[in-house]
Structure 1
Amino acid sequence: MEKSELQKDKILKVAQSMFSEQGFEATTTREISREAGISDGSLYYYFPDGKREILDTIVHQGIESRTVVIDDWFSEVKTVDDLKKQIVDLYERICRIFEDENSYRSFMITIRERPLLSDSQTDWLIEVLSNIQDKLIKELSAIDNQLNVDVKDFKYATGIIISIIQKSLYDELILKNNKVISKEVKELTESEIELMIQLISKKDLSRN
């Protein structure tokens, strides 16, 4: 990485920490410069639009990193057990995203500073969840003969699964302000996912 990129990365990390701890409005460019060990002029050299450009960059990088981690989880399923395993693996993958400090901070900044962000920046979660639901519907379609639910109801079934995952993240990260999803919450959420899969599966298959 070139020196200029290293310097930009340092500024972003300092700003990310400050925005996360004290908020965007309460953080000044002078504070960021001082903490990064550079002059105010240097900060504006790397980020001409100042603090707002830094915020946009942090949010954009966070969205990209989270989306990449989630997007490559899907693979073809052939049985109900395959379906169950893939959804639980997906949930574990999402939980691991927030175990990384940078990912956690970026996510919380995106949530807390929502009024300052564009629709495209704040709608990333909706888009990601929509993509996940589309993939889940495709999975259900691949084993529809093993399920006790009509194709026309796949959207509702997958919506419930998404809601189970979403509630876990919302309760832990936002309401309780925890930095990681606890083992107990993971186990409870995975049990709820497995129960949902059992309910939509044909009875003779759900006993296996």
Structure 2
Amino acid sequence: MEKSELQKDKILKVAQSMFSEQGFEATTTREISREAGISDGSLYYYFPDGKREILDTIVHQGIESRTVVIDDWFSEIKTVSDLEQQIINLYERICLIFEDEDSYRSFMITIRERPLLTDSQSDWLLEILNNIRIKLVKELDLIKDLLNISSKNFDDTVGIIISIIQKSIYDELVLKNNKVISDEVKRITESEISLMTKLITKEDTSEK
């Protein structure tokens, strides 16, 4: 990595830490410069639009890294057990994202500064959830003969599954302000996912 890229990365890491701890509005460019050990002029050299450009870069990098991890989880299924395991694997992938300090901070900034995000940034967050929804609906369709729900209810069923995952993450990271999702919460969430898959499975279906 070139010296200029190293300097930009240092500024981003300092700003990320300050934004996550004291908020975007309460953080000044002068504080970022001082903490990064550079002059105010140097900061604007790397980020001409100042603090706003730094925020946009942090949000963009965070969303991009989460998208890569989540988009790679899908594979073809043949049984309800396969479906259940895929959803649990997705949940575990998401939990792992937040065990990385930079990813955790980026997520918290994205949530707390949501009113400041541009339309495209907000749409990107919605797109991640929508991609998960589309893939899960396709998975249900692959095993529709094993399910006791009709195709017209697939979207609602997927919505419930996503809500189970979202609640776990938001309760722990946002409401309780924990930095990691505990093993107990993971266990409860995975039990709820298992229960949901059992509820949509035909009673007389035997999976071999």
TM-score using structure 1 length = 0.97
**Shift in Å at residue 206 of structure 1?**
7.0
**Shift in Å at residue 200 of structure 1?**
0.3
Summarize deviations over 1:94-153 as a string: whole Å, max 9, x none: 111111110110011111111211122133332211110100010011111111111111
CA distance in 2, matches of 1:173, 1:204: 40
The residue that corresponds to 1:117 in the other structure is: 117
- Counterpart residue type for residue 168 of structure 2: S
CA distance in 2, matches of 1:8, 1:65: 18
Distance 1:78-1:207 versus aligned 2 partners, 3 A rule: closer
SS of residue matched to 1:74 = coil
Give the count of matched residue pairs: 208
The residue that corresponds to 1:165 in the other structure is: 165
CA distance in 2, matches of 1:206, 1:100: 40
The residue that corresponds to 2:205 in the other structure is: 205
Distance 1:103-1:174 versus aligned 2 partners, 3 A rule: same
User: Cα RMSD (Å) of the superposition?
Assistant: 1.3
Map 1:31-42 → 2, pairs under 5 A: 31-42=31-42
**Shift in Å at residue 67 of structure 1?**
0.6
Partners of 1:110 and 1:122 within 8 A in 2 = no
Summarize deviations over 1:12-55 as a string: whole Å, max 9, x none: 00000000111111111111111111111111100001111001
The residue that corresponds to 1:106 in the other structure is: 106
Distance 1:95-1:206 versus aligned 2 partners, 3 A rule: farther
Partners of 2:30 and 2:40 within 8 A in 1 = yes
Partners of 2:79 and 2:207 within 8 A in 1 = no
CA distance in 2, matches of 1:131, 1:151: 18
The residue that corresponds to 2:131 in the other structure is: 131
TM-score using structure 2 length = 0.97
State the identity as a percent.
Answer: 80
CA distance in 2, matches of 1:193, 1:125: 23
Summarize deviations over 1:169-197 as a string: whole Å, max 9, x none: 11111111111111111000000000000
Map 1:42-121 → 2, pairs under 5 A: 42-121=42-121
Any stretches of 5+ residues in structure 1 without a counterpart?
none
CA distance in 2, matches of 1:94, 1:23: 24
Q: Does 1:143 align with 2:143?
A: yes
Q: Does 1:195 align with 2:195?
A: yes
Any stretches of 5+ residues in structure 2 without a counterpart?
none
- Counterpart residue type for residue 52 of structure 1: R
SS of residue matched to 2:148 = coil
CA distance in 1, matches of 2:70, 2:64: 10
CA distance in 2, matches of 1:189, 1:201: 19
Partners of 1:198 and 1:206 within 8 A in 2 = no
